Amino acid sequence: MKIRTQATLPASIDSVWDALHTPAVFTAVSAPFTLFGTTGAKGLPERFESDRDYEFTASAFGLIPMGTQIIHLVDEVTSWASRKVTDLGRGVSGPLASFTGWRHEMSVDARADGHTDFRDVLHIDTSVSSKLAWPAMQLFWLWRGMRLRALAKSFDSPITRSWNERYLSKGAMWSGKVNPVLEEVARACSPKRALDVGAGEGADALFLAELGADTVAVEASSVGVYRGVAEQQARQAQAGVSLPISWRVADISRPWSWREGEFDFMSLQFVHTDRETRASIWSEAVAATAEGGVLLIVGHDASDASRGIPRPPADRCFSREELLAAIPSDWSSTEVTLRERTQLIHGNETTVADIVLVAER
């Protein structure tokens, strides 16, 4: 017997995936019909890890004890854009123990508009108790879907929502070509493990992967990542090879989750924020760069704006002195230069200037 619901959630697939592994969300979508608690003194864990048992108590409306159950999630990630998590748990005591053959599947698929298609299917046996409970269970499943849609409005960070609006305003935000300074620097150092911060629609990450680097591509916009994944799939199909890219939708102004010294190539291309935020981002980038690794930061030079070229506000541009101050004195080398290139602006080829930092740890 199956009980199912589906919905389009107004959040990125990464945010929805995290939510499906968050006990606080699990309890929120179930209330007030079913209230959950823990059997131990520690309370709810911060996250459900795959392939582990978690025991909960349950009560109907907080009044009628229903016994205890085990939650045991198993993750299946086909690609960034398609994932499934299955709860293979079981009822342990009370009325919950009468439900056997329990299999709860939650599938998520990324959409081109940055949202996520969600399918929620519960497989249970056809015992007498299951049949009697079916109407109530179906109502409960519909409630879960409604609650998850409401909660999903807050899953993404404001910066993800803002950048998604920008990406959706254009069929393509960027040229699709690798940034020339990154191409030059990456070819010279042949990275093995790279992090592309502010990956956009993935042109730089794809280049790094084609160069042979195991690449992590981080972008605030789930629309941008969706386009990058589509391009990755197209190139893999055409070339018949796999491009090693792990995609992530993330607000990089928040603390990073990568280990210290994890990457031998770190790229931040045109990440323009306020001074305090970029200092935090640069500090994270410095920490995540491996011994002997290279950190590359490229930005629009403030001098462009004085010539009428559309650029970020002056307080979001950075200087040579600021970049030099961000790199520890014990690094092997640090160089900051201005580099000119041509850019098509309002239909005209225009010479523009970039400020470039190349530092080796």
pLDDT computed for residue 309 by the predictor:
80
Least-confidence region, from 35-39, 120-124, 129-133, 179-183 = 129-133
Based on the number of CB atoms within 10 Å of its own CB, is 188 exposed (0-12), middle (13-18) or buried (19 or more)?
exposed
**Contact yes or no for 208/217 (Cβ under 8 A):** no
Percent of the chain with pLDDT over 90: 69
pLDDT bin (cut points 50, 70, 90) of residue 348 is: confident
- Residue range 248-298, pLDDT digits in tens: 999 999 999 999 999 999 999 999 999 999 999 999 999 999 999 999 999
Based on the number of CB atoms within 10 Å of its own CB, is 291 exposed (0-12), middle (13-18) or buried (19 or more)?
exposed
Across the range 332-342, mean pLDDT stands at: 94
As a whole number of angstroms, the distance between CA 138 and CA 77 comes to 27
Domain 161-360 belongs in CATH node 3.40.50.150? yes
pLDDT computed for residue 133 by the predictor:
63
- Comparing C-alpha atoms, which of 299, 323, 321, 327 is closest to residue 312? 299
- Residue range 67-94, pLDDT digits in tens: 998 999 999 999 999 999 999 988 888 8
**Contact yes or no for 285/266 (Cβ under 8 A):** yes
pLDDT bin (cut points 50, 70, 90) of residue 58 is: confident
Query: What CATH code would you report for 2-155?
Result: 3.30.530.20
Q: Is there a shared CATH topology between the 2-155 domain and the 161-360 domain?
A: no
Q: For the CA atoms of 87, 90, 94, 100, what is the dihedral angle to 10 degrees?
A: 110
pLDDT of residue 207 exceeding 50: yes
pLDDT bin (cut points 50, 70, 90) of residue 128 is: very low
User: Which are the contacts of 312, defined by CB distance < 8 A and separation ≥ 6?
Assistant: 272, 300
Region for residue 202 given its phi and psi (left: phi exceeds 0; alpha: psi -120 to 50; beta: otherwise): left
Mean pLDDT of the chain: 91
Least-confidence region, from 75-79, 200-204, 348-352 = 348-352
Distances (CA, A) of 22 to 15, 19, 121, 133, 298: 11, 5, 18, 27, 36
Kindly report the three-state secondary structure assignment for every residue of the chain. CEEEEEEEECCCHHHHHHHHCCHHHHHHHHCCCEEEEECCCCCCCCCCCCCCEEEEEEEECCCEEEEEEEEEEEEEEEECCEEEEEECCEECCHHHHHCCCCEEEEEEEECCCCCEEEEEEEECCCCHHHHHHHHHHHHHHHHHHHHHHHHHCCCCCHHHHHHHHHHHCCCCCCCCCCCHHHHHHHHHHCCCEEEEECCCCCHHHHHHHHCCCEEEEEECCHHHHHHHHHHHHHHHHHHCCCCCEEEEECCCCCCCCCCCCCEEEEEEECCCCCHHHHHHHHHHHHHHEEEEEEEEEEEECCHHHHCCCCCCCHHHCCCHHHHHHHCCCCCCEEEEEEEEEEEEECCEEEEEEEEEEEEEC
Between strands 193-197 and 214-219, the pairing is parallel
As a whole number of angstroms, the distance between CA 195 and CA 185 comes to 14
As a whole number of angstroms, the distance between CA 150 and CA 95 comes to 30
pLDDT greater at residue 14 or residue 307: 14
- Comparing C-alpha atoms, which of 172, 155, 158 is closest to residue 116? 155
Tokens of 145: 């879907």
Domain ranges of the chain: 2-155, 161-360
Tokens of 316: 């979001």
